[in-house]
Amino acid sequence: MKAILIQRYGKIDDQVQLAETDQHPLKADEVRIQVHAASINPLDLRIVEGEFKLLTPAKFPLILGNDLAGTIIEVGAQVTHLQVGDEVYGKTDHIQHGAFAEFCVVSAKNVALKPKNLSMQEAASLPLVALTAWQALVELAELKAGQKVLIHAGSGGVGSVAIQLAKHLGAYVATTTSAKNSDWVKDLGADLVIDYKTTNFTDVIQGYDVVLDTQGGEILDKSIHVLQRGGRVISIAGPPDQHLAQTMGANGLVKLIMSFMGRAIRKKAKKHGVEYRFLFMQANGVQLQQIAQLVEQQHIKPIIDRVYDFAETKQAMQYVNAGRSKGKVVVNIV
């Protein structure tokens, strides 16, 4: 089969290639999917560079890609809730990637039936960003109606879905983006839009319950100051914490390294009476079923910036890497 893969860690320009490779054998708890569409995430770019090699050691050649939508063509002996011919969407495993391919083997617990009102391209844009928004706002933040949440980079893949989910949950939503995207994110449900190019968000908001940080660094540090005591900042871009090490089953050395990396931000959060949590999203088919219901009820809609052909996957990754995309970038495989 044809697939987008790397033979070693490195840069997109040097390592990403379209090549012929063998399909993975099917285990009893897995399904084989003919991939119709996949989408690009910043995570894919970080995997190419080897950023997670301590947590998820790769066996090369490594087929890239995390998000997919397609049709099941084979099911494992233990799979009972899915069948051949089902149209599904899902997120690949952390160790076994492979959505950028004509066929992909995925754990059956990581996929769900595709929302009926979406095309394959639209469905492929959702799994990683929607699961990230869900696990950040519903699971970790426990966001409730009437609370106030700041979502950074509201025009990005995660931000655009998180705004919609937060509004569905009944929260007051502030977001940061550029002025040109102001009306667009308001249409998604943002109550307050802050132009990050001209305004320091700490000057205009205070006393928030939750911050969803997608930027890390200085933005994460400043975010602590807009929370009221007892508030929570959930980051997908900041330093990892001990919870990640426990989730990933990391060895003692990795746990120690992660604890050290996150020590400064945890100390600062504690000083201000707030909680810091790092989120490394987990694939979850049950949550994707719940998200599909929200999509079919039109509480969440996919946001697609561009669609590329399969042979143009490297260009699609370069486009995302340049930071110019609004919403998601999709690769059409079938």
Give the Å distances, CA to CA, from 278 to 188, 256, 263: 25, 16, 12
Same domain, 9 and 104: yes
Residue 133 forms part of a structural domain? yes
Confidence at residue 250, expressed as pLDDT on a 0 to 100 scale: 60
Same domain, 193 and 68: no
Residue 296 forms part of a structural domain? no
Same domain, 63 and 95: yes
Same domain, 161 and 181: yes
**CATH at 135:** 3.40.50.720
Confidence at residue 323, expressed as pLDDT on a 0 to 100 scale: 85
Residue 22 forms part of a structural domain? yes
Cβ distance 282 to 135 under 8 Å?
A: yes
Same domain, 77 and 198: no
Phi/psi region, residue 25 (left: phi>0; alpha: psi -120 to 50; beta: rest), is beta
Interval 83-107 mean pLDDT: 92
Same domain, 66 and 151: no
- Using 50, 70 and 90 to split pLDDT, how confident is the model at 97? confident
Residue 294 forms part of a structural domain? no
Same domain, 76 and 145: no
Determine phi and psi for 200, rounding to 5 degrees: -80, 115
* pLDDT tens figures, 26-80: 999 999 999 999 999 999 999 999 988 876 778 899 999 999 999 999 999 999 9
Same domain, 327 and 269: no
Please state whether the peptide bond connecting residue 61 to the residue before it is cis, i.e. omega within 30 degrees of 0: yes
Interval 292-321 mean pLDDT: 97
Mean pLDDT, all residues of the chain: 93
Confidence at residue 256, expressed as pLDDT on a 0 to 100 scale: 67
pTM for the complete prediction? 0.95
Domain span including residue 7: 2-126+302-332
pLDDT higher than threshold 80 for residue 186: yes
Residue 67 forms part of a structural domain? yes
Higher pLDDT, 10 or 240: 10
Same domain, 141 and 204: yes
Give the Å distances, CA to CA, from 132 to 66, 126, 283: 13, 10, 9
* pLDDT tens figures, 132-181: 999 999 999 999 999 999 999 999 999 999 999 999 999 999 999 999 99
Interval 108-120 mean pLDDT: 98
**Could you say which DSSP state residue 156 is in?**
S
* pLDDT tens figures, 210-265: 999 999 999 999 999 999 999 999 999 998 876 665 666 566 666 666 666 678 89
- For the sheet with 208-213, list strands across it: 192-195, 172-177, 148-151, 208-213, 227-235, 275-278
**CATH at 38:** 3.90.180.10
Q: What total number of domains does the chain contain?
A: 2
Provide the β-strand partners of residue 330: 39, 307
DSSP string, 125-152: TSHHHHHHHHIIIIIIS---TT-EEEES
Residue 324 forms part of a structural domain? yes
Residue 182 forms part of a structural domain? yes
Same domain, 136 and 252: yes
Query: What is the token pair recorded at 146?
Result: 């009437």
Q: Which residues, 6+ apart, have CB-to-CB distance to 189 below 8 Å?
A: 163, 164, 166, 167, 173
